[in-house]
Structure 1
C-alpha cells in the first residue's frame, strides 16, 4: 500500500512519526513523507521518500532564526500555546490543506497519516475522501468529558464530584478551544467542507486518531470512538556511534532535555554541577540546540550532543528529563524511573502523570544544583520508583509487542470515512 505521511520538524515530537514510516517501509509498503528540509536525512534513513512542503511553513535550516514557532520568546505558557496554534495548527491551515490536496490529486495514495497538530493536512485529506489517521505523539491532548482538563496536572476522577468537574471543564475548554479556528474553517470552506468548532472536531473527522503512548500511562481513555492507543514508537534521534561511559560501576544517570531550543543551557549547567557532587556516573545529551562545550564536565560526567537512547537508557538507574514525551516514555518503557524538570509545552502534564504513577519525581525548572542533587540521591535510594517503573514498563512493552500499531495502520486504507 501507499501512504502519505505529513509531518513537521517538532524536535523530539518528530521521531515517533518517522518511526511509523520506518515500520511501514519494513513491512513492504511505500511511504512518501512531506516534511521540512531539516528532516531530509532522518526521513531518508527510514527508507521513505522525502518531499518538502510546496507552500506550507517549514524549517529551512537548524538555525534558531529558522525555527517556525520560536516559542521560547513567549513569557507565559498561554502565549506559547497561542503561538503554536497560530503558526502551526490553525494559522497556516489553508496552505497545509492545499499541499496535501494537491499531492493526492497528483498521484494515488491509499491513506494519509498526519501529525495531529497539522489540522490543515487533515482538512486536505478529508476533502479528497482518503482514509486518514491523526498521529498523536504524546498523551491525548484534546478536551474530553471523561478526563481531567489537560494542562492542570489533575488526577483522574474517582467520584461523582470529580466526574462533574471533568464535564464542566470539558464545556469550558471546548469553548475556549474554538478561538483561532477561523483559518481552519476558511480552508474547509475552500474545499467544500462544513465548519468545525474546535480542533477536537477536526480530529473527530479523521477515521482514526492513533495515540502513540502507553494506554497504561495515559489514563483514563477519552470519549472519542475513533481513538486507538497503539503504544509508543521508540525511534531514536540520529546519533553518531557509541560513547564511552565514565569509568566505574556507580549508578548511571542519563540526562536528556529538549532536542529543540527551550533556553535549557542554564538548567543543564545546574544538573551537571549536581551530578558532579554525587557518587554516580552521568551522561548528559545536549541535543542540537545547545553546544556541549557550554556545559561543564567532570571525571564522572560526560557531555555529548547526542547519544542513542536505545543504547543508554536501559543501562541507567535514573533519567533526568524535561518530561518531553519522547524521552520520558523511553525511560518508562525500559523500566527506568525519571526525575522530571518541566520547561513548558506539554511537559508539566507529562511530569504530573508520571508522578501519579509513582515512577517520577518532579522539580521546578528553577531548582538549584543542591536541590537537584538531593532529588537524585533520594530517587536512587528509594526502591519504589524503580519498582513502579518496572511494572509500568512491562505493560507498555506488552502493548508494543501486540502489534496493534501495524494492525491499525494496515487496516486504515480499508476504512470508509464516517458520514458527516
Structure 2
C-alpha cells in the first residue's frame, strides 16, 4: 500500500473533491493525509480523512465573507484578479507553502504528492524531494497551458475557424504573460529550496507526472484526446458537510432552487434581484445563501424561502429549475438530475461553465447585474419551453456516466507504482 499527501487551500469547490479522492484511496487500503486550511478540518472529519493544517502558509480559520483572503470580487479587471491570485495564493506565499509541505513530508513520508493546481509551493517541495507529483483540478482547466482548449475566464466557445483559433492564441498568450509577474517570488522560493530558477511560471507544472481533471469529459470543451499529462477522471461531487435539513415552501407551483457560491463574491445584489423575480412568479422557490451570507439580510415573498443551506442532493429530484452563479459543482449536479439551469456568472470559472451549459442548450445565461424582470422572463422560458429540460437530461446522462467511471484513485495508484527519482534532502 502507498502513502499519499494531498495539499489544497480554502478556495471553495475544489476542497471536497480532493477529500473524496483521498477517501477513495483509503477505501482501497492506502494511507492519506490532507494538508489544508484549518476551516476545512470538519469537512475532512466528516469523511474520516486524516487532516493537517497549514501553519507557516496563509490559512483561513472560517468561511465567512471576512475570512476570504483572495477577495477577487474587489478587482475591477482580469489583470488585477491574476495579481491577487499570484500574491495571495500561487507564488507570493510559495515558500511558506513549500515549508509546510516539506515538514509534512518529513513527518508522514508520502510516496506521492497530490496538489491543487494553483499551489506552486507544494509542487516545488515535491520536486526538491524527488517525489512523484500529481495535480488534481476539480473543475475545467483554469490555466493557459492546454493547447486546443478555449482560453479560460471569458466563456469562449471552441474555435471553428482560423480567425477564432488566432484569437484564442492571442488571448491565451496575453493571460500567460500576466502570470509571469509571479516569477520572481516563485524563483526566490525555488532558490531557498536549492532548485534552479525557471524561465516561466508555468514551467513549475512540468514537475507533475499527471494532471487529473475532476470534471466530466462530456461537459468539457477540452480537446480529445487530451494532451499529456492531462486526463479526465470524472467529477467528484456531494453536498458539503455544513448542509442542514430544509424543506422548500409548501405552496403549489414548480420548485426553483437558487444556489450561489459557498465563497463570498459580493453576491447580495444578484440574490436580491433573483428573490424579487421569483416572488412575482407562480413558483415555490428555495434560495440558499451559503456560509458567507446571513439569510436574514434578505426580504422575500411568501413563496420564496431564504436559508443558509439545503440538501441539494435530495431536492434536485423534485426541482424544475436551478438558478446559479455556475460554479463547477453547482452546474454539474443539477444537470446530472436533468434540471435546466439559469446561470448568472460572477467570475472565476463561472463564465466558462455557463458557456458549456448554453452551448448544449441545457439552460440560459444572464449577466450578473440582470434586473428582476429580465430574470423572471428567463425563468418563464426555462420552465415553459420543454427543449431545455430535454437537453439538460441528455447532457446530464453523459455526465452521470463519467461520474460512474471516475478514476482519480486508480490513476494515483498507478503513479505510486512508477519508478521515482532520488529524494533530495
CA distance in structure 2 between the aligned counterparts of 1:82 and 1:24, rounded to whole angstroms: 35
222-231 vs 264-273, which deviates more? 222-231
CA contact (8 A) 1:148 1:169 kept: no
Structure 1 residues 25, 391: closer, same or farther in 2, change over 3 A?
same
Q: How many residues align?
A: 419
Structure 1 residues 367, 171: closer, same or farther in 2, change over 3 A?
closer
Q: In the TM superposition, what are the counterparts of 1:60-99 in structure 2 within 5 Å?
A: 60-99=61-100
TM-score, normalised relative to structure 2: 0.92
In structure 1, stretches of 5+ residues that fail to align are none
Q: In the TM superposition, what are the counterparts of 1:348-363 in structure 2 within 5 Å?
A: 348-363=351-366
CA RMSD of aligned residues (A): 2.1
CA distance in structure 2 between the aligned counterparts of 1:203 and 1:301, rounded to whole angstroms: 46
In structure 2, stretches of 5+ residues that fail to align are none
Q: In the TM superposition, what are the counterparts of 1:4-403 in structure 2 within 5 Å?
A: 4-143=5-144, 144-221=146-223, 224-248=227-251, 250-403=253-406
Structure 1 residues 240, 218: closer, same or farther in 2, change over 3 A?
closer
CA distance in structure 1 between the aligned counterparts of 2:242 and 2:66, rounded to whole angstroms: 24
CA contact (8 A) 2:345 2:368 kept: yes
Q: 1:219 aligns to what SS in structure 2?
A: coil
CA distance in structure 2 between the aligned counterparts of 1:275 and 1:373, rounded to whole angstroms: 7
Structure 1 residues 25, 84: closer, same or farther in 2, change over 3 A?
same
CA distance in structure 1 between the aligned counterparts of 2:198 and 2:379, rounded to whole angstroms: 47
Give the deviation of 1:89 after TM superposition.
Answer: 0.7
Give the deviation of 1:370 after TM superposition.
Answer: 1.0
TM-score, normalised relative to structure 1: 0.93
CA contact (8 A) 2:332 2:399 kept: no
Deviations 1:260-286 (A, max 9, x none): 111112221211111111111111100
Give the deviation of 1:289 after TM superposition.
Answer: 0.9
Q: 1:303 aligns to what SS in structure 2?
A: strand
147-156 vs 217-226, which deviates more? 217-226
Structure 1 residues 17, 382: closer, same or farther in 2, change over 3 A?
same
Q: 1:34 aligns to what SS in structure 2?
A: strand
CA contact (8 A) 2:68 2:264 kept: no
CA distance in structure 1 between the aligned counterparts of 2:96 and 2:230, rounded to whole angstroms: 26
Give the deviation of 1:240 after TM superposition.
Answer: 4.6
CA distance in structure 2 between the aligned counterparts of 1:198 and 1:351, rounded to whole angstroms: 30
Give the deviation of 1:241 after TM superposition.
Answer: 4.0
Q: 1:407 aligns to what SS in structure 2?
A: helix
1:411 aligned partner: 414
117-126 vs 248-257, which deviates more? 248-257
Structure 1 residues 171, 286: closer, same or farther in 2, change over 3 A?
closer
Give the deviation of 1:341 after TM superposition.
Answer: 0.6
CA contact (8 A) 2:286 2:305 kept: yes
Structure 1 residues 133, 256: closer, same or farther in 2, change over 3 A?
same
